[in-house]
Structure 1
Amino acid sequence: MNDPCVEHFVQYLEGEKNASEHTISNYLIDIRQYCEIVWGEEATAPFKWKEADRFTARKFLVFFQKLEMAPATTGRKLSALRSFYRFLLREEYVEHNPFSGLNLPKKGSYLPQILSTTEVVRLLDAPAKYNEQQVLTNNPKIKIWREYMVARDAAILELLYSTGMRINELVKLPEEGIDLLSGVARVRGKGKKERLCPLGSPAERALTNNLQLRENVWLLEGKRDVRSPVFLNKSGGPITARSIERMMKKYVLFCHLNAELTPHSLRHSFATHLLDAGADLRSVQELLGHASLSTTQIYTHVSVERLKEVYQLAHPRA
């Protein structure tokens, strides 16, 4: 944005807060939207941060409320601007924080979308079954790619469910972060914090198959990426989060599952199934990489809701 205050704020996020690229990008999007709403889309840096007051902050809130944006999204944007102005106040760029007295919108009750254990099995088996229904081909290049794609997609789905990692953590997972002998993956999560995620046996087998068949794709493309991405796209480069979302949508529809399910639903399912099986909340918190236990506690509510469903279906006087 070429604004000295914003540039200083980014340095603060990188240096003091150790924020990820994704987090910084979200901050910049929210700050840019704020500038456009307050000063107009044609306004250019440097911006007059000192001129903002509580009415300006309120204008920012009302703009998103009129769009009927989810309270959680609006709340995140307000928190971003509150943090930005808190930084400006600390560095004496401004004399007050216009967002300090603004209440965040109340969040509605939200329970994440999860799959049952039976649905998880159907989804994890989907890549192989989907491929069986494809038209046979004698083209060696297409055959090699299809063979790898089945192994890759199966490994991605297995890894998401086996570890509960976020999709952005998965696409950035380097080959050296996977230890198949010890059965763990070293994941770098939010705030660049590292954690170890245990791998289940099916995930280990799927990853091994993916890595073996990956070599055929590199030979096919005549190149090898020096960064050695674990999962490749059709060009032999690293697969993106958006590609994984499209891939899962394809298999969700193929399995006739809820169309709203996303890769993050496997993370939700991972946590819920662990708690259903008796895992303690602190352990699940560590496995998910949550900084706060309160974030993990939503899965206890999911488990209670599942118990209620079972009760309603099974009890004669429910």
Structure 2
Amino acid sequence: MSRVRAVQPRQPKPLVVEEEPEYLVAFRQAMLARGLSTRTRNAYVRDLHQCELMSHSALTCWTETDVLHCLSELHKAGKTPRTQARILSSLRQFYFWMVGNERREDNPCARIKSPKIGRALPSDLSETDVENLLLAPDTSTAIGLRDKAMLEVLYACGLRVSELMNLSLEQVNLNAGWLQITGKGNKTRLVPLGDYANEALEDYLNHARGELVATLKSGNCQAVFLTTQGGYMTRQNFWYMIKKYAKVAGIVKEISPHTLRHAFATHLLNHGADLRSVQLLLGHSDLSTTQIYTHVATARLQALHQAHHPRG
């Protein structure tokens, strides 16, 4: 594990590929010019290289038959419909770019339909499970106070894990009880903290963060939540942390940082919040993305009905 302090938010690095063809290098540059994130660019490049390995011809020469053969091979290899659809989407974007830049006249993906994938329901975490998880950190230590505050903020605000990791001091307004969050596409939204998260965050900032700042020998780290080296945390750091506390809390199901974001949305809807408000709090650009949580709430009601109704 790296012991290097990160005094700036940790960012993903571009995928490195040896002897990358010129057309994929140009495609990378085009994605960068469009403002796509490093993670998105890496995903496209990774998918396209995987496709190239499945054929003796370069992607620039592929026909519709080659694309169909690729999807067939993915199916034979046991890849899920979701993975197949994602790779087909990467190919579509690549050929759309080629046509737009007059590198070829046709898009071999134009007539191919995406596999039907359905929409998987997010993991369901009950309010009792969340309560036990929030009580798991040992708040007699600086690290425990930090971890308690992180879990409370994540659940209270429904943040993405990257938004939590990159949260800076200037984004926090404890007096007003709000966070100013910069999410996907550099879109900014205000999210209320709530009393419990506000109190946990205030306790951490007043009684624990200074101890972690003292370990920072150089630089000026503005991260709210610091590592034991006084720098920004990684997504992996927090993933291991939440797994540890889930075990302490006696939660046997698989959970991740994103599970608390799902719980935030589902519990709001269970208690009567309207879908549009939940969309704004989550930072979803499309309401259809938020609608999945209505299915989670409905599924939970159906399970309760079947378990407790005499004719369930």
Q: How far, CA to CA, are the matches of 2:167 and 2:43 in structure 1?
A: 21
Q: Does 1:254 align with 2:234?
A: no
Match of 2:115 in 1: 105
Preserved contact between residue 186 and residue 195 of structure 1 (Cα < 8 Å)? yes
Q: How far, CA to CA, are the matches of 1:187 and 1:38 in structure 2?
A: 44
Letter in 1 for 2:91: L
Q: Deviations over 1:164-198 (max 9, x none)?
A: 11112211222212222222212222222222221
Match of 1:267 in 2: 261
Alignment of 1:1-318 (within 5 A): 1=17, 2-16=20-34, 18-39=35-56, 48-128=58-138, 147-212=141-206, 213-219=208-214, 221-223=215-217, 225-318=219-312
Q: How far, CA to CA, are the matches of 1:224 and 1:178 in structure 2?
A: 23
* Structure 1 residues without counterparts, runs of 5 or longer: 41-47, 132-145
Q: How far, CA to CA, are the matches of 1:39 and 1:225 in structure 2?
A: 50
Preserved contact between residue 218 and residue 224 of structure 1 (Cα < 8 Å)? no
Q: How far, CA to CA, are the matches of 2:55 and 2:146 in structure 1?
A: 47
Match of 1:140 in 2: none
Q: How far, CA to CA, are the matches of 2:150 and 2:56 in structure 1?
A: 44
Match of 2:4 in 1: none
Preserved contact between residue 52 and residue 59 of structure 2 (Cα < 8 Å)? no
Aligned-residue offset at 1:225: 4.1
DSSP-derived class of the 1:38 partner: coil
Letter in 2 for 1:105: P
Match of 1:142 in 2: none
Cα pair distance change 1:155/1:60, threshold 3 Å = farther
Paired residues in the alignment total 293
Cα pair distance change 1:233/1:39, threshold 3 Å = farther
Q: How far, CA to CA, are the matches of 1:112 and 1:242 in structure 2?
A: 20
Aligned-residue offset at 1:108: 4.0
Aligned-residue offset at 1:19: 2.2
Letter in 1 for 2:27: F
Preserved contact between residue 253 and residue 259 of structure 1 (Cα < 8 Å)? no
Q: Deviations over 1:211-241 (max 9, x none)?
A: 331221221x252542422222232221110
Higher relative contact order, chain-length normalized (CA < 8 Å, sep 6+): 2
Q: How far, CA to CA, are the matches of 1:211 and 1:3 in structure 2?
A: 50
Letter in 1 for 2:213: W
Flag the structure with higher helix content.
1
Cα pair distance change 1:69/1:187, threshold 3 Å = farther
Q: Deviations over 1:227-264 (max 9, x none)?
A: 42222223222111011111111111222213311111
Preserved contact between residue 224 and residue 236 of structure 1 (Cα < 8 Å)? no
TM-score when normalising by structure 1: 0.85
Letter in 2 for 1:151: L
Aligned-residue offset at 1:69: 2.6
Preserved contact between residue 114 and residue 261 of structure 1 (Cα < 8 Å)? no
Preserved contact between residue 19 and residue 192 of structure 1 (Cα < 8 Å)? no
Q: How far, CA to CA, are the matches of 1:184 and 1:14 in structure 2?
A: 33
Letter in 2 for 1:176: E
Q: Deviations over 1:84-131 (max 9, x none)?
A: 211111111122212222221211452111211111110011112xx7
Letter in 2 for 1:61: L
Cα RMSD over matched residues? Answer: 2.1
